[in-house]
Amino acid sequence: MSESSNKSSNKDSGRNPQPERFQPKVLLIWLVIITAIIALWYSMPGAGSNQRQLSVSELIMAVNEGAVNQDSGVMKPDPTLGKEGYIVTGEMRNPKFDPDDINSKEPKLVPFRVEGRLTESDFLLLREVVAERRSSTALQEILVSFLPFLLIIGLLYFLFVRQLKNAGRGAMSFGKSKAKMLTREKDSITFKDVAGCDEAKEEVSEVVDFLRDPKKFQRIGGRIPKGVLMVGPPGTGKTLLAKAVAGEADVPFFTISGSDFVEMFVGVGAARVRDMFEQGRKSAPCIVFIDEIDAVGRQRGAGLGGGNDEREQTLNSLLVEMDGFDGHEGVIIIAATNRPDVLDNALLRPGRFDRQVTIDLPDLNGRHEILLVHAKKIALDESVELEHVARNTPGFSGADLANLLNEGALIAARYNKKVVEMQDLDEARDKISFGRERRRLMDDEDRKITAYHEAGHALVQAVVDDGHLPVHKVTIIPRGQSLGSTMFMPKKDVLNHSKRRLLNQVCCGMGGRAAEEIVMGDITSGASGDIRMVTKTARHMVCDWGMTELGPVAYGENKDHIFLGQEIERSQNYSEQTAQKIDTAIHDIVEEQYHRSLEILNKHRKELDVCAEALLEHETIDGKHVLEILEFGEMRSPVIKREIVSENAQGSEGDGVEGSAAEEDNKNSDKGELAGEDTPVGAPA
């Protein structure tokens, strides 16, 4: 009982006060003040109306003449006018009003007011015409006298005193930490909800185990890491893993973003760091999660302006708090970033971030596990094979896979389906990898050029492929910024690039240009994206991978780093003669494979025409159709087209049954690469 109470008190002490919101009682108070001011205004003599001031004698004369309206008059004593002083108000007939004059615009009755002393006979006369009101008490007179002062004092309080108090509180809260403490809920995220990164889960689970049972590690002299840095590409699940740690650990969990330390005032970031660790010490043992730590952890003294003093002060405070003279026993820091290269070296040393956990893109088994987790919320058809989807999505991150299932559900709903089918997921994969189909109006000439261009890519790849990267789909329907696409589907995750397969990819990339030259006798700008892709691949082969006569020497050190985290550096560690040899080697690779693609297409000219005609007729054909054309000279399998059953579809998702997870050819686009430094062959970029 005492332990649970201590935990609850620690949580309450570490929780930040919620920001003040607009309170309804403040609005009620202001309404009361405004109402009182209006009542005071109308209670003042002569306020609220244009009353006619009369003397007592004029009033008596009007009463004798019968000019006073008997239903509207009021007579009440007024001690300020003496013992027999009275105030008489009411309405009387307008003497200027002529009842016989139709055009007269004067009012029939006008209000009047009389202040003065009344004799006994005048009092008795007026009492028959107007009503008598009792005299006000002393309390009423005091309230009427002091009400204006009370209103002024109340107004000054709410306008000045309260605002000054709030301003002072806000000024003092600049240095308070914005870290939020998460509480365990029923639907909190646990390790069961995280898939595709088993090694990373084991790394952070040690932290959770230490917090649950520290004697298990202390018994043999073990010391828990003070900090864990999670590194990986965007969308791989770094923040999700931190949420799972919060769900698994039965200790206070504070979360804050790196940008929350940045403020327009000097010294606020460092103050917030100190306050955050102070809250952590009060709630120890606890976990503090800093998301996107590169916002404050960049290298000091570097960049275009020589660094940022405010950011460096914040970083210095973070370094001291993590491992300084004042220890923070029981406060474990977990940070996440996708830019570990720009972090300061002092932040990465043991004693601060002792452990770096790399969360990379998931492999085949990881993608399958991620799909199983996210598929629990999606109504899938029985025919859907998630293992097949995982095999066809190399290079996809966890966020991409979640988006894939969501897009598939949206497409199925667009076609008025109750469950998500396999073709919906394939279509969603094409949409994510290459963009949405666009029914761009093209004339016959552009369609013909695009058809032969894509047919050239498909036939060359079908000829040179060894079963590693088969053709999956060919289409002349514009997607994204491209007018057509040739899609490939890798049989497995590509971890290494062989010289033979890279040359085949360069040959396939130049297939579109070669087809244009053979058929049209001319070349177009549609191969601009292909040229950039093959040039980049050839440059990697020469400069990075040592696949030419220049030998296994790296020539890729000529780089510019122009961002705040690093210095501007430009180095060239090879001579001009070597640079000329590099350019010659790149040119020879591209030129040789271009002539190779010309030989292949000239040899299969008939198949090229058949494939292009099929594209012009059906707009989209599958990889099996390309193989049939190459083997039999014609398509023997039917082309299945997707019928639109919903009016909302508007024909935008018209063709295609199979999806792709590979590479596209770009017409007039900068997208799509046959091989890249970090992107596997055929994987979505």
Q: For residue 226, what pLDDT band results from cuts at 50, 70 and 90?
A: confident
pLDDT reading at 564 higher than 60: no
Task: Name the helix (H) or strand (E) containing 231.
Answer: strand 227-231
Identify which of 278-282, 297-301, 528-532, 558-562 has the greatest average pLDDT: 528-532
Q: In this model, does residue 95 exceed pLDDT 60?
A: yes
Q: Which long-range contacts (CB under 8 A, 24 or more apart) does 314-320 make?
A: 314/261, 314/262, 314/269, 314/270, 314/272, 314/273, 315/344, 315/347, 316/270, 317/269, 317/270, 317/273, 317/274, 318/273, 318/347, 319/346, 319/347, 319/352
Q: Which residue has the higher pLDDT, 567 or 664?
A: 567
pLDDT tens digits along 630-651: 888 888 888 876 554 433 433 3
The pLDDT assigned to 15 comes to 43
- Please give the radius of gyration of the chain, using alpha carbons only, rounded to the nearest integer: 42
Strand runs (DSSP E) across 428-573, as ranges? Answer: 471-475, 485-488
Q: How confident is the model at residue 311 (pLDDT cuts 50, 70, 90)?
A: confident
What span, in angstroms and rounded, lies between the C-alpha atoms of 279 and 284?
9
Q: What is the pLDDT of residues 590-614, one digit of tens each?
A: 999 999 999 999 999 999 999 999 9
Cβ neighbours for 166, distance < 8 A, ≥ 6 positions apart: 20
The two three-digit tokens of residue 392, written as one number = 């066809």
Strand ranges (DSSP E) for 133-190?
180-182
The yes-or-no verdict on residue 21 having pLDDT over 70 is: no
Q: Please, are residues 328 and 281 in contact by the beta-carbon 8 Å criterion? A: yes
- pLDDT reported for residue 291: 86
Q: Which two tokens stand for residue 273?
A: 């760091």
Q: In what order do the strands lie in the sheet with 485-488?
A: 485-488, 471-475, 620-622
Give me the pLDDT at residue 469, please: 87
Residues 6+ apart with CB under 8 A from 457: 474, 486, 508, 509, 511, 512, 515, 665
Reply yes or no on whether the pLDDT at 240 is more than 80: yes
Q: Show Cβ contacts of residue 516 under 8 Å, excluding neighbours closer than 6 positions.
A: 449, 452, 453, 456, 522, 523, 524, 526, 527
Secondary structure of residue 289 in the 3-state scheme: strand
Q: Mean pLDDT throughout 158-175?
A: 53
Residue 346 burial class via C-beta count within 10 angstroms: exposed 0-12, middle 13-18, buried 19 and up? middle
State the catalytic residues: 454
Check whether 315 has a pLDDT greater than 70.
yes
Arithmetic mean of pLDDT, 661-680: 35
Partners of 336 in the β-ladder: 230, 291
What pLDDT was estimated at residue 656? Answer: 33
Can you give the pLDDT at residue 332? 84
- Round to whole Å and give the CA distance between 232 and 230: 7
pLDDT band at 128, cuts 50/70/90? confident
The position carrying tokens 């009792």 is 134
CA dist., res. 544 & res. 557, Å (int): 10
> Which amino acid is present at 212?
R
190, 248 in Cβ contact below 8 A? Answer: yes
**Is the per-residue pLDDT at 235 higher than 80?**
yes
| Mean predicted confidence (pLDDT) in 322-333 | 70
Region label for 518, one of left (φ > 0), alpha (ψ between -120 and 50) or beta (otherwise): alpha
Among residues of the chain, what percentage have pLDDT more than 90?
17
What confidence tier does 494 reach under pLDDT thresholds 50, 70, 90?
confident
- E strands in 605-675: 620-622
Q: Is the pLDDT of residue 11 over 80?
A: no
Query: Please, what is the average pLDDT of the chain?
Result: 76
pLDDT tens digits, 510-561: 999 999 999 988 888 888 989 999 999 999 999 989 999 988 988 875 444 4
Residue 653 pLDDT? 35
Instruction: Tell whether the model's pLDDT for residue 239 goes beyond 80.
Output: yes
CB atoms within 10 A of CB 116: 18
**Which of 205-209, 250-254, 277-281, 412-416: highest mean pLDDT?**
412-416
pLDDT, tens digit (0-9, with 9 covering 90-100), for 425-443:
988 888 888 778 777 677 8
Question: How many other β-carbons are positioned within 10 Å of the β-carbon of residue 150?
Answer: 12
Confidence check: pLDDT of 7 > 60: no
Does the pLDDT at position 682 exceed 60? no
pTM confidence score: 0.63
Torsion angle of the four alpha carbons 367, 369, 374, 376, in this order, in degrees rounded to the nearest 10: 150
CA–CA dist 115, 314 (Å, integer): 75
Exposed/middle/buried for residue 76 (C-beta within 10 Å: 0-12, 13-18, 19+) = middle
Q: Over the stretch 390-429, which tens digit does the pLDDT of each residue have?
A: 888 888 888 999 999 999 999 999 988 899 998 899 888 8
Task: Determine the pLDDT at residue 599.
Answer: 95
Does residue 14 carry a pLDDT above 50?
Answer: no
| Residue 466 pLDDT | 86
Instruction: Return d(Cα 96, Cα 119) in angstroms, integer.
Output: 30
Mean pLDDT, to the nearest integer, of 223-250? 83
* Those residues with Cβ within 8 angstroms of residue 319's Cβ, 6 or more apart along the chain or in another chain: 346, 347, 352
pLDDT of residue 167: 46
Residue 205, pLDDT above cutoff 70: yes
pLDDT at site 317: 83
pLDDT digits (tens, 9 = 90+) for 73-91: 777 777 667 677 777 887 7
pLDDT number for residue 40:
61
pLDDT at 206 over 70: yes
